[in-house]
Structure 1
Amino acid sequence: MEYTLLLIEKNNGVAQLTINSPQTLNALNSAVLGELECALYELDRDNDVKVVILTGAGEKAFVAGADIKEMAAMSAFEGQQFALKGQRVILMMEKMNKPVIAAVNGYALGGGLELALGCDFIYASQKARFGFPEVTLGIIPGFGGTQNLSRRIGVARANELIFTGKMIDAAKASEWGIVNEVFAPEELLPKAQETARSIARLGTLAIASAKNAIANGLNMGKEDGFRYEASLFGVLFATEDQKEGMGAFVEKRKAEFKGK
């Protein structure tokens, strides 16, 4: 599929997916969400892609939010459908068998922060700013923000950020546990690429199983999570990657994983 609002670059097992609408600060409207849904579907099924980096074009914004001009005229039903469309994109990233890294280069507000929270972890520029301004518009986060933020940083801090509509900088976002690491602006994408390439060299089946165990285990009791982890652990012993990884360790050579 050809994309008009996204850029996709693939290299050494890493796909960089860029929301490319800097004139609107990469705002999420129905068209952007539709292209994201298609792109994520394709990338998840591309065996040459091991890791995805999600970022925004330009220096000002990762994604400055959802498109308020589009939302302003929506009915209650249309608003619900728009939220569900955004949630489908978030859930696709969470359920992908491949890690998705957010590289937040500027504003990540509203739907932009929700998009970042749907990634497996977040790297941020020192210029990045985070927030949920929805209550200042008379609405609430609708792309899973109330659920994902509270699970990531705890209810009290999620309440503060969502109830006040305030914006926090990258340092505060790191302190609160929203962001993994903060980099100088010119280092952000190179560092994200470096991490992505290091992951891409590892066993893709093991990475997928680890992502699956963490995500699904959070919705289980601890003992059920332990059993689920053990089942995935056992299944991996039937793979060629496990034989290669352990064989390479014993033979003191570098493993060459094939995702089988």
Structure 2
Amino acid sequence: MSVDFHIPEDGIALITINRPEKRNALDAEHYQALSAAWERVRDDSSIRAAIITGAGDKAFSSGADLKSYFSRKTDLNEFWQTQKGMLLNRGLEIWKPIVAAVNGYCLAGGMTLLLATDIRVAASHATFSLAEVKRGIIAGNGGTQRVMAQLPHAIAMEMLLTGDSIDAATAQRWGLINRVVDADKLLETAMEYARRIVKNAPLAVQAAKELALRGPELGLAGGLRFEQMVNKILVASDDAKEGTLAFQEKRPPVFKGS
């Protein structure tokens, strides 16, 4: 039982929730390990993109291990420790792109994790749901917030209020995921997305992600101004010079993130 972290290719991190016997549900220890993995992605400059998936062929993640949480005694003071054990879907700021490879059940906290990723590939047998209302709770860690921003209102409300599942084809139709592939092609497809990303200038990629995600908070005028400021910074970077020179010399650029 673990959250596995390794770097299969330069610039790409692969995070695997490895608890298949529990449908990759996350108890407190696994959440702590996942938090550490996200922090490493954020802080390691050699990592330019990450893939998140689940072990086995049954589940991406079924979310929090409710049995372990309901039996766990906690100090109320933890409620105000808002930066403790930060997660991607809880608000940890990672501007490097995250690709999700959904290999089965994507439920509850697994779904809220998915909603915090950038590009999503699913096996054809994957299913998706925010089923917390069936257990007397709500979709936390951004579940009630991101689903409304990412899906049409009526579809998002149906998922939140009924807790019912949708299949991979339906998820793709509504724009929740990018591609549906056969299970044996899932990880390779996710890797191909990551490879395409890491070929690009890492500073520009991170800037593009941050601008896109902060845009709704800034409004159009603020977003446009933020774009101008960021571009002025990037134009002076070594990567921008390399990109221009590589174009002139008709060769692939070699970006260093500087």
TM-score (norm 1): 0.92
Structure 1 unaligned spans of 5+: none
Does the 8 Å contact 1:40/1:92 carry over to 2? no
CA change 1:134–1:86 in 2 (3 A) is farther
Aligned residue number for residue 228 of structure 1: 226
Does the 8 Å contact 1:100/1:121 carry over to 2? yes
Quote the offset at 1:75 in angstroms: 7.5
Does the 8 Å contact 1:171/1:182 carry over to 2? yes
The one-letter code matched in structure 1 to 2:203 is L
Aligned residue number for residue 194 of structure 1: 192
Aligned residue number for residue 166 of structure 2: 168
Aligned residue number for residue 36 of structure 1: 34
Does the 8 Å contact 2:23/2:60 carry over to 1? yes
Identity of aligned residues (%): 37
Alpha-carbon distance in 2 for matches of 1:108, 1:221: 32
Q: What is the RMSD computed on CA atoms of the aligned residues?
A: 2.3
Aligned residue number for residue 88 of structure 1: 86
User: Structure 1 residue runs of 4+, over 3 Å off?
Assistant: 73-78, 80-87, 91-94
Alpha-carbon distance in 1 for matches of 2:71, 2:136: 14
TM-score (norm 2): 0.92
5 Å-filtered alignment, 1:1-260, equals 5-10=2-7, 11-73=9-71, 81=79, 88-91=86-89, 95-260=93-258
Alpha-carbon distance in 2 for matches of 1:87, 1:145: 18
CA change 1:194–1:101 in 2 (3 A) is same
Alpha-carbon distance in 2 for matches of 1:13, 1:137: 40
Structure 2 unaligned spans of 5+: none
1:22-74 Cα shifts (integer Å, max 9, x gaps): 11111021111111111111122212211100000011000012112023346
The one-letter code matched in structure 1 to 2:250 is K
CA change 1:186–1:108 in 2 (3 A) is same
1:54-104 Cα shifts (integer Å, max 9, x gaps): 0000110000121120233467976x8499689930257762131111110
Alpha-carbon distance in 1 for matches of 2:133, 2:23: 20
Does the 8 Å contact 1:36/1:89 carry over to 2? yes
Alpha-carbon distance in 2 for matches of 1:111, 1:63: 7
CA change 1:91–1:238 in 2 (3 A) is farther
Q: Residue 252 of structure 1 aligns to a residue in which SS?
A: coil
